[in-house]
Amino acid sequence: MSEPRSEVRNVGRRILRRSAQGVSTVRRTVARRPRLLTYLAIIGPGVITAAAGNDAGGIATYASVGADYGYRLIWLLVPLTISLGIVQEMCARMGAVTGKGLSDLIREKFGVRWTAFVMLALLIANGGVTVSEFVGIAAALELLHVARYVSVPVAAAAIWWLVVKGTYQRVERVFLAMSLVFLAYVVSAFLAHPPWATVAVEAVHPHFEFTSGFLFTFVAVIGTTISPYMQVFIQSSVVEKGVRVENYRLTKIDVWVGTVLAIAIVLFIIISTAATLNLHGQHVDSAAEAASALRPLAGPYAEILFSIGLFGASMLAAGVLPLATAYSISEAFGFEKGVSSSFREAPIFLGVFTFLVVLGATVAMMPGLSLIRVLIVTQVINGILLPVILVAVLKLVNNRELMGTHVNGPVYNIAAWLTTIAVSVLSLLVVFSTLFPMAF
C-alpha cells in the first residue's frame, strides 16, 4: 500500500510543480503585457510632431534639393537627425517633468510682455504656413483631378470635426494613420530606380558650395525641418497625454523613432527626385510640380504616390499647426485647453484652432494667390522666432528648480548648445538672404 501512496504523492508533486511553472509563466506574460501596452499608449507625440515637419513647404524644399543638387546634400541628413532629435527630446522631457507646456513655462520665467511678443509672432507665422498646407491639399488633389473648391472645404471640415468633436486619443490615432501615407515616398523612390551605390557614398561624403543658391537651399532644408511650432506641439502633447517621469523613457524612444522615420522620408523624397528630375535637368518650385514631373520619368504610379504623400502630409500639418498655435496661446495666457474639451470649457483654445482652419482654407481658395509671398513672410518670422525659442528651451531645461535631476548632462548640453547655435546662425542667414537677396 505504501508504494501506491508514494506514487500518488509523486504525481501530486509533479502537478504542483507544473502548476507553479504555469503560474510563473502567466505572471511573466502579464508583466510583459503592461510594458507593451504602456509603450503603445505613450507612442504618438514624437512620431506625429516629426512627421508634421514634412509638410507641403518641406516636401517642396526636399524635392527642389533632389532636382537641383542630386544626391550631394544627403550627408546633411545625418547631423540633421541628431539636431532634430535633441531639440524635440528636450521639450518632451520638460513636458513630462513639469506637467506644463512650453508657452506656460516661458510666461512664468520670462514675463508676460516677452510671451505676448513670441505668441504674436507664432500666430502670424503659423497662420501663413497653415495657408500653405491647404494649398498643398488643393495641389495634391488637383493632380488627381479634384477641384480645390471641393477638396479644400471638405478637408477643412474634416480636420475641424476631428479635433472639435473628438477626443485626444481619437485625434492622435488619426494623425498617426495619416503619417503612414509618407510610405508612398519610399515606394516612389524605388520606382525611380536610383543608383544606390552613389546614394551610399554621398551619405558619408560632405559637399558644400559657397554660392548663394546652395547656401539658401542648405539653410532652407534645416529651417524647414526644425520649426518653432514643433517644439510647442510636442511638449503640449506630452502634457495632455499625461506622460510622467516614471514612464518618460518610452516617450524618449517615441521621439527618436519619430525623428529617424521623418528624416528617412526626407531621404526618399530627395532620392526619388534626384533619380529623375536632376538626371534630366528639371527644376521644380513646388511639391505639386515635382509630382507631375515624375510621371513621364518614373511612370504614372510614382506621380500618384507622390501626390498621395503630399495630400497626407498637408492634412497632417493642417491639423497640427493650428493645434500647436491654440495650445501655445492658451498656455501663455492661462486659458483652458485640451482636445477633449468642449467649446464651453475651452472657448479660446478651440476658437483659435477654428479661426486658423477657416483662415487657411479661405485664403487657399482665393484666385491669384501669391503663395511664394506668404511663405517668404512666414519664413522671415520663423527665422527670427526659432533662435528665441531654442535659447528659451535651453534655459528652461537647465533650470534645476524646474527640472531637478532631469536637467541636461554635460555632453548632452554641449550637443544641444551646438545645435542651437548652428540652427540660430543658419536661420538668421535665411532672414538676411530673404531681406537682402542682392548680398548673396
Residues sharing a CB contact under 8 Å with residue 70, sequence separation 6 or more, in sequence order = 274, 278, 279
% residues pLDDT > 90 (the chain): 5
Residue 75: pLDDT band by 50, 70, 90 thresholds? very high
Does 77 map to a domain? yes
Range with the lowest mean pLDDT among 12-16, 53-57, 195-199? 12-16
| Average pLDDT of the residues in 360-371 | 76
Q: What does the H/E/C string look like for 369-421? A: CCHHHHHHHHHHHHHHHHHHHHHHHHHHHCCHHHHHHHCCCHHHHHHHHHHHH
Residue 374 is predicted with a pLDDT of: 61
Residue 377 is predicted with a pLDDT of: 61
In the predicted model, is pLDDT for residue 107 greater than 80?
yes
Does 193 map to a domain? yes
Residue 33 is predicted with a pLDDT of: 43
Residue 156 is predicted with a pLDDT of: 92
In the predicted model, is pLDDT for residue 13 greater than 80?
no
> Which residue segment(s) compose the domain that 317 sits in?
43-439
In the predicted model, is pLDDT for residue 153 greater than 90?
yes
Domain count, the chain: 1
Does 400 map to a domain? yes
Work out the mean pLDDT of the chain and round it to a whole number.
77
The CB density around residue 201, as the number of other CB atoms within 10 Å, is 13
| Average pLDDT of the residues in 229-243 | 81
- Give the position of cell 504656413: 129
- pLDDT digits over 110-152, tens only? 888 888 888 887 888 788 788 888 888 888 888 788 888 898 9
Residue 355 is predicted with a pLDDT of: 92
Does 25 map to a domain? no
Residue 357: pLDDT band by 50, 70, 90 thresholds? very high
Is the pTM value of this prediction over 0.85? no
- pLDDT digits over 366-423, tens only? 876 555 556 556 666 676 777 888 888 899 999 998 888 888 888 888 888 888 888 7
Does 417 map to a domain? yes
- The type of residue at 34 is P
In the predicted model, is pLDDT for residue 8 greater than 70?
no
Residue 43 is predicted with a pLDDT of: 59
Q: What does the H/E/C string look like for the chain? A: CHHHHHHHHHHHHHHHHHHHHHHHHHHHHHHHHHHHHHHHHHCCHHHHHHHHCCCHHHHHHHHHHHHHHCCCCHHHHHHHHHHHHHHHHHHHHHHHHHCCCHHHHHHHHHCHHHHHHHHHHHHHHHHHHHHHHHHHHHHHHHHCCCCHHHHHHHHHHHHHHHHHHCCHHHHHHHHHHHHHHHHHHHHHHHHCCCCHHHHHHHHCCCCCCCCHHHHHHHHHHHHHHCCHHHHHHHHHHHHHHCCCHHHHHHHHHHHHHHHHHHHHHHHHHHHHHHHHHHCCCCCCCCHHHHHHHHHHHHCHHHHHHHHHHHHHHHHHHHHHHHHHHHHHHHHHCCCCCCCCCCCCCCHHHHHHHHHHHHHHHHHHCCCCCCHHHHHHHHHHHHHHHHHHHHHHHHHHHCCHHHHHHHCCCHHHHHHHHHHHHHHHHHHHHHHHHHHCHHHC
Does 30 map to a domain? no
In the predicted model, is pLDDT for residue 37 greater than 70?
no
CA-wise closest residue to 148 among 371, 318, 317, 362: 362
Residues sharing a CB contact under 8 Å with residue 260, sequence separation 6 or more, in sequence order = 81, 85
- The grid coordinates of residue 268 equal 526618399
In the predicted model, is pLDDT for residue 250 greater than 70?
yes
Does 23 map to a domain? no
- pLDDT digits over 163-212, tens only? 887 766 677 677 767 667 677 778 878 887 888 999 899 888 888 877 76
Residue 93: pLDDT band by 50, 70, 90 thresholds? very high
Does 26 map to a domain? no
Cα separation, 75 vs 405, whole angstroms? 35
In the predicted model, is pLDDT for residue 219 greater than 80?
no
Residue 154: pLDDT band by 50, 70, 90 thresholds? very high
Range with the lowest mean pLDDT among 106-120, 219-233, 323-337? 219-233
Residue 28 is predicted with a pLDDT of: 43
Q: What is the CATH number of the domain that holds 409?
A: 1.20.1740.10
Residue 354 is predicted with a pLDDT of: 92
Residues sharing a CB contact under 8 Å with residue 211, sequence separation 6 or more, in sequence order = none
Cα separation, 56 vs 316, whole angstroms? 10
In the predicted model, is pLDDT for residue 273 greater than 60?
yes
Which of the two residues, 288 and 133, has the higher pLDDT score? 133
